[in-house]
Amino acid sequence: MSVRRVMGTEVEYGISVTGNPKANPMVASSQVVNAYASATLKARRARWDFEEESPLRDARGFDMSRATADPSQLTDEDLGLANVILTNGARLYVDHAHPEYSTPEVTTPLDIVRWDKAGEQVMLDAQRRAALLPGGAPIVLYKNNTDGKGSSYGAHENYLMRRKTPFADIVKHLIPFFVSRQVVCGAGRVGIGQDGREAGFQISQRSDFFEVEVGLETTLKRPIINTRDEPHADPDVYRRLHVIIGDANMAEISTYLKVGTTSLVLAMIEDRFLTRDLTVEGSVQALRAVSHDPTLKHEVTLRDGRRLTAVQLQLEYLDLAKKYVEDRMGADADPQTVDVLARWESVLDRLERDPMSLSGELDWVAKWRLLEQYRQRDGLGWEDAKLQLIDYQYSDIRPEKGLYHKLVKAGRIERLLDDASVERAMHEPPTDTRAYFRGQCLERYPSSVAAASWDSVILDLAGRESLQRIPTLDPLRGTQRHVGALLDRCRTAEELFAELTH
Amino acid sequence: MAQEHKQPRKGSEVEETTEATAETDAAERKDALDNEVDDLLDEIDDVLESNAEEFVKSFIQKGGQ
């Protein structure tokens, strides 16, 4: 009924080794993750527990066979790549050829922003530490999604949903929303086409990389709706919607609205509130066409024959969301739901009148404005390498080099959180999900945690030969309210285990 | 009668003055903004990687998810 639900993001960072473009990115990514792990983890390093992972489980109700799967889809085999759990409940690891950070499970859009931004700081810390290692190379990380030469890497969102919601409803109502939401949460990109062969600016980093409407793949033939179905929770009650279409955002308001509006639309789907058919004809083509027109004038055709701009399509969802919240909660709506609705409306209203007026809030507009200022001052055409450089460097996570950071420092981009709050989130877990239990176990009993995952903590206890697995299948248990007092009175993991099992 | 006439006239005079001030303000603001933009771009020039062409050529990533 609101923007609240169990959710998280996972971001693969672009990586380059300064002065050595041929460096092996897997090695560099491992150096980054290992440098952070060695410097910050107190005792033994808890490994990731793969027992409950099933990346070939399809939300449509069948499993893909391992033999027919592309090797890149087999994410559950421990390849020996660096993979650690942090005291804030997050996971820091190497996925394919990129360092990746998954936020702990949170329940509000603002907490997504907080722990997603904390991930940037973890990565910054990690790259700095990697450079200090003997033989360590200067490694730079980028929070973007493409090299502009044909490769893309993801920034995924995860939303816990009710299992009983028919998947076909999700597909039907979410595709038009995803085709259009990039006007709010795109990160902006120089270059058109997967390999950027055409000069120009587009709204989204990712849109050119989507080729089908629905599918299980994430690395090839990317689908607008991904069907991976590993709930990391009771599968009879929940599914996890794995959203792979979003851009990695630097701007806090972009992330906040991306997750807040999506969560609201999912609530409407779950409550069967969406009866309007907003199906877009040729959604894959429409997705790209919307991205390719930053003036926001492109019109998509709906199945019912109407032609709407992406902003107008978003306004349809906004209109429904306002009615839904009013209908279900009225004056009892929680402040973040009210805030998301108000900001969404304000942003769409201004995008309709003057897109450039959003340069202080949305990534793609901030980037576009900066590029246009350079074009004007230096008389640059879109094919100029300097503009491509600005695109990359906008997402450089170093405050002294990153252009997003420069714009924030110059007061050009609004923030929602202060540095202190983000810094705390690098180490402290959210208090209202099972991430609290996971993070606190690592903080309090570091030498006793052998492994952990989203749905378990595995303890290696004195006096016991085998490892003891504590399942954490319910994402809303293991909160501070549930286990805070218990953890406070257990000085050791042995005491904790005894209390949990007596 | 005289009173009734006076009110609206006074109103329109005030409006004209406000408009004129607004225009000057806008022009001044635009100049200030232009200067600010120049300053910002100068600052960004200082941190931009030096050889754009070389940098762009060597920014190669492996595909991910």
DSSP per-residue codes, A358-414? GTTT-HHHHHHHHHHHHHHHHT--TT-HHHHHHHHHHTB--TTT-HHHHHHHTT-S-
For the cut 80, the answer to whether the pLDDT of residue A301 exceeds it is yes
The pLDDT assigned to A287 comes to: 98
Helix (H, G, I), strand (E, B) or coil at A253: helix
Contact A95 B48 (CB under 8 A): no
How does pLDDT run across A75-129, given as a tens digit for each residue? 544 445 788 999 999 999 999 899 999 999 999 999 999 999 999 999 999 999 9
From residue A209, give the alpha-carbon distance in Å to each of A151, A205, A206, A370. Answer: 9, 9, 6, 25
CB A141 within 8 A of CB A248: no
Give every CB contact of residue A144 below 8 A, 6+ residues apart in sequence: A14, A187, A205, A248, A391, A392, A394, A395
Residues A460-468, mean pLDDT to the nearest whole number: 94
CB-based contact A97 B40, cutoff 8 Å: no
Rg of chain B taking only CA atoms, in angstroms: 27
Measured torsion, CA atoms of residues A440, A444, A445, A447, in degrees rounded to the nearest 10: 110
Q: Are A458 and A452 in contact (CB under 8 A)?
A: yes
Averaged pLDDT for residues A277-299 = 98
Q: Check CB contact of B46 with chain A, cutoff 8 Å.
A: no
Give the model's pLDDT for residue A76: 46
Q: How do residues A37-64 score in pLDDT, each as one tens digit?
A: 988 876 566 777 766 566 656 665 555 5
In the predicted model, is pLDDT for residue B1 greater than 80? no
- What is d(CA A59, CA A266) in angstroms, rounded to the nearest whole number? 16
User: In angstroms, how far is CA A272 from the centroid of its own chain?
Assistant: 26
Determine the pLDDT at residue A360. Answer: 98
Size of interface A-B (CB pairs under 8 A): 96
With a pLDDT cut of 70, the percent of chain A lying above it is 93
SS3 A210: strand
Q: Which residues of B touch A218 (CB under 8 A)?
A: 65
Select from A474, A462, A480, A472 the least CA-distant residue to A500. Answer: A472
Mutate which of B42, B59, B60, B65 to test chain A, going by most A C-beta atoms within 10 A? Answer: B65
A301: β partners: A307
Mean pLDDT of A243-261: 98
Nearest-CA residue of chain B relative to A406? Answer: B44
Q: What is the pLDDT of residue B50?
A: 92
Identify the pLDDT of residue A47: 74
Quick one: pLDDT at residue A183? 98
> Does the beta-carbon distance from A370 to B61 stay under 8 Å?
no
* Tally of CA atoms within 13 A in the half-sphere of A352 that contains its CB: 12
Of residues B27 and A152, the one with the higher pLDDT is A152
Partner residue opposite A151 with nearest CB, options B40, B41, B61: B61
User: Residue A253 and residue A402: Cα distance in Å, rounded?
Assistant: 18
Helix (H) or strand (E) holding A344: helix A335-353
Angle between helices A109-132 and A335-353 (to 10 degrees): 80
- For the stretch A59-63, contacts whose Cβ atoms lie closer than 8 Å and that sit 24 or more positions apart, written own/partner, are A59/A167, A59/A227, A59/A228, A59/A229, A59/A239, A60/A167, A60/A227
Choose the closest CB to A385 out of B43, B52, B60.
B52
Nearest Cα residue in chain A from B58: A21
Count of residues making up chain A: 502
Residue A70 confidence (pLDDT): 52
For the segment A384-397, what is each residue's pLDDT rounded down to a tens digit? 999 999 999 999 99
Distance CA A17, CA A425 (A): 28
Q: Measured between alpha carbons, how far is B14 from B12 in angstroms, rounded to an integer?
A: 5
Q: Give the pLDDT band (50/70/90) at residue A279.
A: very high
Q: Any bridge partners for residue A145, and if so which?
A: none
* 8 A C-beta contact, residue A395 and residue A406: no
CA distance linking residue A483 with residue A431, whole number of Å:
10
For B56, the closest chain A residue by CA position comes to A389
Planar angle of CA A255, A284, A145, nearest 5 degrees: 40
Amino acid at A111: D
Q: What's the average model confidence in pLDDT over A13-34?
A: 93
Looking at every residue in chain A, the average pLDDT score rounds to: 93
B41 touches chain A (CB under 8 A): yes
Residues A344 and A260: beta-carbon distance below 8 Å: yes
Q: Per-residue pLDDT tens for A177-232? A: 999 999 999 999 999 999 999 999 999 999 999 999 999 988 889 999 999 988 99
A25 vs B62: CB contact, 8 Å cut-off? yes
In chain A, residues with a C-beta closer than 8 Å to the C-beta of B49 are: 389, 393
CB A249 within 8 A of CB A112: no
Confidence of residue A433 (pLDDT cuts 50, 70, 90): very high
The separation between CA A221 and the C-alpha centre of its own chain, rounded to angstroms, equals 20
Six-digit token string for A436: 């609290």
Rounded CA-CA distance B8/A235 in Å is 72
pTM for the model stands at 0.91
CB distance from B47 to chain A under 8 Å?
yes
Confidence grade of residue B65 (pLDDT, cut at 50, 70, 90): confident
Beta strand pairing status for A155-162 and A7-12? antiparallel
* Contact check, Cβ <8 Å, B64/A219: yes
ipTM: 0.88
